[in-house]
Homo-oligomer: A and B are copies of this chain.
Amino acid sequence: MIVLGIDPGLSLTGWGIVDAFSRDKINPIQYGCIKTMPSTPLIERLQRVHTEIQTIINKYKPEAVAIEEIFFLKAARSVASVGQSRGAIVLTISINKLPLFEYNPRTVKIALTGYGSADKHQMQRMVKTFLKLKEIPRPDDAADALAMAICHVNTVKWASKR
């Protein structure tokens, strides 16, 4: 099962593709970060995020997309930026008729570490362990996106071992 994990943002959107054969066998395929400049008009920034996500979908053909829920405790301006990017991303997923799964940060932390208050470093180490990577994925947004994809793999009901 190929899963695309997304950590949405306007300046930085992390993404990660994994291929899962079971809960315990998850292979990293690719990960990265979509960057847009604050000096660029909003419409061009959202078009850029859309085009890059579309390219990732075309290339890796994910069967499911896992995205982080909006975190309300941030400043309203930050929520507005993340929200607009997230709206453009969710619409892109919808246009591609892919199933979307939304996870809040606490659920992702529990899925990866068994602990809802795990810190960023513990999470990143678990991403490295789950995916048998030699190093922690950089930037943080890409590691967060991979965590999202792993969380989805762990949440899905596996009917039988492949």
Give the contacts of A53-95 with B (CB-CB under 8 A): 70, 72-74, 76-77, 79-95
Q: Is the CB of B94 within 8 A of A46?
A: yes
With both chains docked as a complex, state the minimum distance between the C-beta of A4 and any C-beta of chain B, in angstroms.
14
Instruction: Report B-chain residues with C-beta under 8 Å of the C-beta of A102.
Output: 42
Tallying the copies of this chain within the complex gives: 2
A133 at the interface (CB under 8 A from B): no
- Choose one: B43, B72, B81, B91; the contact of A46 (CB below 8 Å): B91
Q: Is the CB of B76 within 8 A of A74?
A: yes
- Choose one: B42, B46, B87; the contact of A85 (CB below 8 Å): B87
Give the contacts of A108-153 with B (CB-CB under 8 A): none
A41 CA to B19 CA, complexed, in Å: 26
A47 at the interface (CB under 8 A from B): yes
Closest B residue to A48 by beta carbon equals B94
A111 CA to B82 CA, complexed, in Å: 30
Instruction: Report B-chain residues with C-beta under 8 Å of the C-beta of A1.
Output: none
Instruction: Report B-chain residues with C-beta under 8 Å of the C-beta of A77.
Output: 72
A43-B90, A87-B91, A88-B88 given. 20 additional CB < 8 A pairs? Answer: A42-B90, A42-B102, A43-B93, A43-B100, A47-B94, A50-B94, A50-B95, A72-B76, A72-B77, A76-B76, A76-B79, A79-B83, A80-B83, A83-B86, A84-B84, A84-B86, A84-B90, A85-B87, A86-B87, A88-B91
* A contact set with B: CB distance below 8 Å: 42-44, 46-47, 50, 70, 72-74, 76-77, 79-95, 100, 102
